Amino acid sequence: MSEHSSNNAQKDEQKNDFIRNIIRDDVKAQKYPQIVTRFPPEPNGYLHLGHVKSICLNFGVAEEFGGVCNLRFDDTNPTAEKQDYIDNIKNDVKWLGFEWAGEAHHASGYFDQLYAWAVQLIEQGDAYVDLQSPEQIKENRGSFNEAGTPSPHRDASVEENLTLFNDMKEGKFAEGKAVLRAKIDMASPNMNMRDPVIYRVMHQEHHQTGDKWCIYPMYDFAHPLSDALEGITHSLCTLEFEDHRPFYDWAVEKIGFDVPPHQYEFSRLNVDHTMTSKRKLKQLVDENIVSGWDDPRMPTIAGMRRRGYTPEGLRDFCERVGVTKVDSVVDFRLLEFSIRQSLETTTARGMAVLKPLKVTITNFAEAVSSWEAQKADSVNARWDDDAQTLWLTQPNHPNVDMGEREIPFTETLYIDQGDYEIEPPAGYKRLSPEKPEIRLRNTYVLAVTEYILDESGNVVELKATIDPATLGNNPEGRKVKGVIHWVSASQGVPATVRMYEQLFSVEDPSSVADVHQALNPNSLTELDAVVEPSLANAAAGTRFQFEREGYFIADTADHSSDKPVFNQIVSLRDSYKPA
């Protein structure tokens, strides 16, 4: 069972999709002693955003209806599979908050039984060995408008087929020289029923079975029979497998099961500006276009985890998307909305200046020397004479008890470059020559008295004063609008901050033949920022809201207190509102 509960009646009512309605009817009719689902990834890559929906659905309905969900690796192609993929898939499922029933299963664990069932099909006259070349088999399948041509080997005797299949098993055929095909209907309007291949020769060592086998079952053959072996009651998959269901049913019927599993299809998760093709994602990794499967720009679960997305946010996103039989494209901003919602009350606050502009407080010593007399009751501070620093104690969250931290306030500060404009645009509400005063977050009102330019005319430093009477108090006789964040220049810590845009610049990157043409050149920008000490000292994987900037995470691979690295999770706010 997962560590989060779905037993709330109101929440259950919200999940009133067609699959849950089918299961409710089956439970009511006592059709099965227990609901059993499965999540059956092929271990040929890292899981991505589309898999999150399948994980949440399969594990979710099992939990909601008092059943169990298996984790099974449909590992029928050793040339593309790795133990690394298996390990990461397990980590991903656990990280999302789910636990599978018992030990993880492998289709390869059923290879002996699958082979025996293949022999059974031959003995029943339902399968035959075809010695045509792969090209001939493809050509003779026909088209949607033309029936296929039966293989010249289709009517060989049972004895001959048993001998040939055993020869395949014993390694007497090279790859591509012999396959086992189901004998169904070469004129079927469903191409998947035109004598599909169910076993092929592959002289490859398997990551689970070693060199025991040189023939391997096809996915479409192993999958339904693995479901049946495990007592799966509801085999949930995406719509592209709808045309495969007739063969799914054919296989379990021909082998003979008293209570066969049934396949139900739902729409896959399509999100704009997002690609979920494992092949193309692997291309990005292999060509070093991204730093790896866990690059924070990648739509993999590993990438989203490193980016700082939360399992709660991803589960909420899938719940909002829902389960239907109609393909559609989901606005990426809905995903960001769910992530943002999950972060609001769970992340501590902190101050980081992403594009530093130096500010020198010319009356610092004089102003701060009287801080104890001037401070309001709401201000908790201490003066460090040796470091010439005023340490301000602030809560880590304004509304949730997350403890406190000390922030150093010193003579030189950094504010963001965007918080001062010599010629501000219309509606600008921060510092400018015409608006020299503003509140520094948690401290004094600051007034800019001078700006300094470099040779190119860029502002490189501000001279300013602070009003000693405004520490925790409003200024007398005037109103000061606006609050900006800041970081001590002398005690702040240099940090790398990675800002992200979507990896793909086109709405449907899968429609572009060359993946390079869909890439967004601005998907990653690295900034030389300065952060308050409490952020630099945080453990890798800790999430924060950088005040006025957004949500960030201390990178799980590169962050250290000596060289802090933060990844942007999501912006602070967005005008998008879910329907």
> pLDDT by residue for the chain (579 residues), tens digit each?
444 444 444 444 557 899 999 999 999 999 999 999 999 999 999 999 999 999 999 999 999 999 999 999 999 999 999 999 999 999 999 999 999 999 999 999 999 999 999 999 999 999 999 999 999 999 999 999 999 999 999 999 999 999 999 999 999 999 999 999 999 999 999 999 999 999 999 999 999 999 999 999 999 999 999 999 999 999 999 999 999 999 999 999 999 998 899 999 999 999 999 999 989 999 999 999 999 999 999 999 999 999 999 999 999 999 999 999 998 999 999 999 999 999 999 999 999 999 999 999 999 999 887 766 555 566 788 888 889 999 999 999 999 999 999 999 999 999 999 999 999 999 899 999 999 999 999 999 999 999 999 999 999 999 999 999 899 888 888 899 999 999 999 999 999 999 999 999 999 999 998 999 999 999 999 999 999 999 999 999 999 999 999 999 999 999 999 999 999 999 998 777 776
Pair (71, 197) in one structural domain: no
- Residue 347 lies inside a defined structural domain of this protein: no
| Full-model pTM | 0.92
The residues, any chain, with a CB within 8 Å of residue 412's CB and separated by 6 or more, are 358, 359, 360, 361, 488, 489, 490
Q: What angle in degrees, to the nearest 10, is found between the helix axes of 332-344 and 311-321?
A: 130
Residue range of the domain that includes 394: 352-483
Pair (465, 431) in one structural domain: yes
* Dihedral sign (CA 120, 121, 125, 128): negative
Q: What angle in degrees, to the nearest 10, is found between the helix axes of 158-169 and 111-123?
A: 160
- Residue 543 lies inside a defined structural domain of this protein: yes
Count the residues in the chain: 579
- Residue 189 lies inside a defined structural domain of this protein: yes
The rounded distance, in Å, linking the Cα atoms of 436 and 433 is 6
- Mean residue pLDDT across the chain: 94
Domain boundary among 308, 340, 372: 340
The one-letter amino acid code at 55 reads I
Pair (72, 36) in one structural domain: yes
- Residue 540 lies inside a defined structural domain of this protein: yes
Pair (227, 100) in one structural domain: yes
Pair (228, 246) in one structural domain: yes
Domain boundary among 168, 183, 216: 216
Q: Which helix (DSSP H) or strand (DSSP E) does residue 350 occupy?
A: strand 348-350
- Residue 523 lies inside a defined structural domain of this protein: yes
Pair (141, 208) in one structural domain: yes
How many H-runs (helices) and E-runs (strands) does the chain carry? 16, 28
- Residue 102 lies inside a defined structural domain of this protein: yes
- Residue 346 lies inside a defined structural domain of this protein: no
The percentage of the chain sitting over the pLDDT mark of 90, rounded to a whole number, equals 89
- The total number of structural domains that make up the chain: 4
Domain boundary among 216, 238, 264: 216
The residues, any chain, with a CB within 8 Å of residue 478's CB and separated by 6 or more, are 437
The CATH number assigned to the domain holding 192 equals: 3.90.800.10
Pair (428, 457) in one structural domain: yes
- Residue 289 lies inside a defined structural domain of this protein: yes
pLDDT for 66-80, tens place per residue?
A: 999 999 999 999 999
- Burial of 185-206, coded b for 16+ CB within 10 Å and e otherwise, reads bbebeeebbbbbbbbbbbebeb
The residues, any chain, with a CB within 8 Å of residue 37's CB and separated by 6 or more, are 58, 59, 61, 62, 67, 68, 69, 70, 232, 233, 234, 235, 236
Positions marked catalytic:
42, 268, 278
Pair (374, 445) in one structural domain: yes
The CATH number assigned to the domain holding 13 equals: 3.40.50.620
The predicted pLDDT at position 15 comes to 76
Pair (454, 549) in one structural domain: no
Pair (97, 133) in one structural domain: no
